[in-house]
Structure 1
Amino acid sequence: MIKNNLYKGFEVELFTGSSNSHIGVSTDVEEKFPDFVKEPDKRNVEYITTPEKDYKFLYEKLITPRKNLRQWLNNRGLTIIPSSTLCFKHDIEFQRSDINNTYHQFIQDNYGISVATSSVHINIGIDDLDRLFAAIRLIRSEAALYLSISASSPFLNNKITGNHSQRWIQFPKTPSKVPFFVNHKCYIDWIKQNIANKNMQNIRHFWSSIRPNGPQRPLILDRLELRICDFVQDINLLLGITAMLELRILNLFENLQTLDPMTSSIFSIDELIEICDQNEMIAAKESLNSELIHWQDGKKVICREWIENLLSDLSPTAEKFNMQHLLKPVYKVLEEGNQSMKWINQYQKGLSIEQIINISIDDMMKEEEESV
């Protein structure tokens, strides 16, 4: 069924450093590798994959840049740090990667080190605008679920924070209030207004859990971008999260009247906005164990149970598209806990943050070696 699948692409942010510190080398990485770009803080780098439908190709697109970067870093005594926050003890000053970039200057002046996080943005190709905005409404209503599966940032500055996604707690969502876009025109008008009143510096300065994306925003759009996920070091899990997202969108397209929150929720649009924002913050604190409010009927539900129920609902679609096997890593997270939960458990057993992260570094390296 690959011909009927949607295109998928990724923007993957990584931290570089040693086994116990964050070391910024993004300028050198960008010069060496054409598929890597700098982030505002030089301790971050990002690579972007080209869109594919087939998950086998997606795996190669995700693992190959990481392996190439790893080899280059190894030759310099450095590594990839698989945390979504600056987990080791670090300089709390913002470390500019490009001193001549005025947008970076704005970010440093207004947000500072709070933006120094790593994540993975999942892009799903949807070229029908009505379907695109329906998908954005639905996935925004369920974004907390994807954050909970991916959570990997319980540490900050060599301390445990008490949050499962410290990244999403500290990241400055901008603008602070984002509407449910009724249609494309609503989105265009909102973007233009927020740039005009300086709530946003430019079209890129829209930092929310999900947003429309395309070659010429806000006018030409062709994909949904889910931005809420923490960095996921296990690529099979990342593909599992992506498969769950794609299946939910395909499921929506078959049931637009019953799954679009604009027509199938007991809440008003303003109430939905509050519920979604609240769910995201609660999930950032307790992830799979969090108690969330369901967007359809307002009932309280434990996040893990909501995901289990959703996967059950998606089972016929997964079977139709022969994607059941891709979801196995998601089921494993539900059974064993996400990355943050595992790290917190190791910490409570007496391991140091440095020891915990280095175990995960070894796990990353093993995955890359086995992918040959």
Structure 2
Amino acid sequence: MNQPDAPQTTTVAPLLLKGFEVELYTGRRDGTVVGCSAEAAAALQGFVTEPDHRNLEYITPPEASYARQLSLLLEPRRRLRRWLQQRDLTLLPGSTLSLGDSGHFERSDPANPYHDYIEQTYGTRVVTASVHINLGLTAMEPLFAGLRLLRCEASLLLALSASSPFLDGAVTGAHSQRWLQFPLTPAEVPLFLSHGHYVDWMEQQLQRGTMQNVRHFWTSVRPNGEDRPYGLNRLEIRICDLVSDPVLLLAITALAELRVRLAQNDPEQWDPLRASRLDTDELARLADANDRAAARSSLDATLRHWRDGTPIQARAWLRQLLEEVAPLAAAFGLTPVIEPLEAVLEQGNQAMRWLGRHRNGETIRAIVADEVRVMVEQEDELAAMTGTDAALGLLG
């Protein structure tokens, strides 16, 4: 992904290109998961299979505009939804098999040897749905400065997006069961000091067999590109649970973009390599521990700040982040884009709201089925707005 050329008439840097990889479950309106990814991918352009056929993925093309990305997020979903309706199926919310069955793997491509490896090595721990956020950067120093900051703050993005409190029809005790069960590979990842450090580390992992290929690098945030590890052009944020609401997804993305901009504009203040009192090994351990804590308790989690290791609640830290990015958000016209994050801080993320309903006596099936309905209504409303003044006002 390359950044667009800056307009000659403005002193504000252009927005970064961004794109999304969206994984979704398919199933019935009552929340029962029914796999059909191979058939859907064969019938619909732009969709690809996952190893288990109960979820599938689509990718939006690189685009800097948030308003345009809203259209790019919605169009494939609505196309897929129409295809599913002919089979009395729909799209399901959440990032785990909320109503089951995680006891068995359902292969989308039984002849694929890499899928053999995935099933035999990890089983259904990988059968999750999520959204990966890609931010375009081509200069290596800003890319790795942004990577370090996002690695140290990835737990906050998970806290905003957590949507997997259920598995197999039961409450798991976590807000993001997906992140706790997903097999991070390799198990330990350093805080990369430079592009050269990253290249050396990747080559070592491939030689040792801890990674099967360059794609087999599953961590919270990673560099990416068409010729990785050598040719890089973006950061990929992989930690977020599935965010069913596209407007909220764009708000989370805008917060991440603004944090990357801070690291780019003033690395002495915002690059943890330069601004933290902790050494890089401590920072890597802190980031991983924060990710696990956010997976368990999301906005209520007690995390440790990357500047000095001080304990801080995720919700309070996010409020701090929003204050820190406010001037930059105004300069980029992104203040309305990040506004939905305030509602999440006040009302809780999707996992917290679902757990609240369950504590009040609703069944998991009833909660998921109601959210299926909400997804449809939300998409219809947003589709009617795209390209209008209302959408432009919503997304800047």
* TM-score grouping bracket, smaller chain normalisation: over 0.9
After TM superposition, give the deviation of residue 317 of structure 1 in Å: 0.2
Equivalent residue letter for 1:237 = L
1:113 matched to which residue of 2? 124
2: CA distance, partners of 1:53 / 1:163: 34
Is 2:102–2:124's contact at 8 Å kept on the other side of the alignment? no
Unaligned residue ranges in structure 2 (runs of 5+): 1-9, 385-396
Q: Structure 1 residue 325: deviation in Å?
A: 0.3
How many residues in Structure 1 have an aligned counterpart in Structure 2? 372
CA contact (8 A) 2:134 2:235 kept: yes
The TM-score normalised by the length of structure 1 is 0.98
Q: Secondary structure at the match of 2:339?
A: helix
Backbone CA RMSD of aligned residues: 1.0
- 1:329 corresponds in structure 2 to 340
Matches within 5 A, 1:275-286: 275-286=286-297
Aligned-partner SS, 1:4: coil
Establish whether residue 132 from structure 1 lines up as the match of residue 143 from structure 2: yes
How do residues 217-366 of structure 1 correspond to structure 2 at under 5 angstroms? 217-366=228-377
CA distance in 2, matches of 1:166, 1:282: 11
**CA–CA distance in structure 1, aligned partners of residues 262 and 194 of structure 2:** 20
Q: Percent identity?
A: 45
Q: Which runs of 4+ in 1 moved over 6 A?
A: none
1:16 aligns with 2:26: yes
Distance (Å, rounded) in 1 between the aligned partners of 2:102 and 2:272 = 43
Mapped to 2, the partners of 1:320 and 1:284 lie a distance apart of: 33
Greater CA deviation, 143-152 or 321-330? 321-330
- Once the two structures are superposed, residues 165-200 of structure 1 have per-residue CA deviations (whole angstroms, 9 ceiling, x without a partner) of 000000000000001111111111111111111100
- Return the alpha-carbon distance in structure 1 between the equivalents of residues 320 and 31 of structure 2: 40
Partner Cα distance (1:6, 1:369) in 2: 28
| Alignment-derived partner of residue 5 in structure 1 | 15
**Aligned pairs for 1:27-42 within 5 A:** 27-42=38-53
Q: 1: CA distance between counterparts of 2:73 and 2:329?
A: 22
The whole-number CA distance in structure 2 between the counterparts of 1:349 and 1:104 is 41
The 1:123–1:91 alpha-carbon spacing in structure 2 relative to 1, beyond 3 Å, is closer
Secondary structure in 2 matching 1:219 = coil
Secondary structure of the residue aligned to 1:146 is helix
Is the CA contact (8 Å cut-off) linking 1:21 and 1:90 kept in structure 2? no
Secondary structure, in 3 states, of the residue corresponding to 2:133? Answer: strand
CA contact (8 A) 2:31 2:372 kept: no
Looking at structure 1, the residues matched to 262 and 342 of structure 2 have their Cα atoms a distance apart, in angstroms, of 19
For residues 132-191 of structure 1, the C-alpha deviation after alignment (integer angstroms, 9 at most, x for no partner) is: 011111100000000000000000000000100000000000000001111111111111
2:31–2:92 CA contact under 8 A, matched in 1: no
In structure 1, stretches of 5+ residues that fail to align are none
Deviation at residue 230 of structure 1 after TM alignment: 0.2
What whole-Å deviation, never above 9, does each CA across 1:306-364 have from its counterpart, x for those lacking one?
00001001000001111100011111100110000000001011111111011111111
Deviation at 1:89, TM superposition (A): 3.0
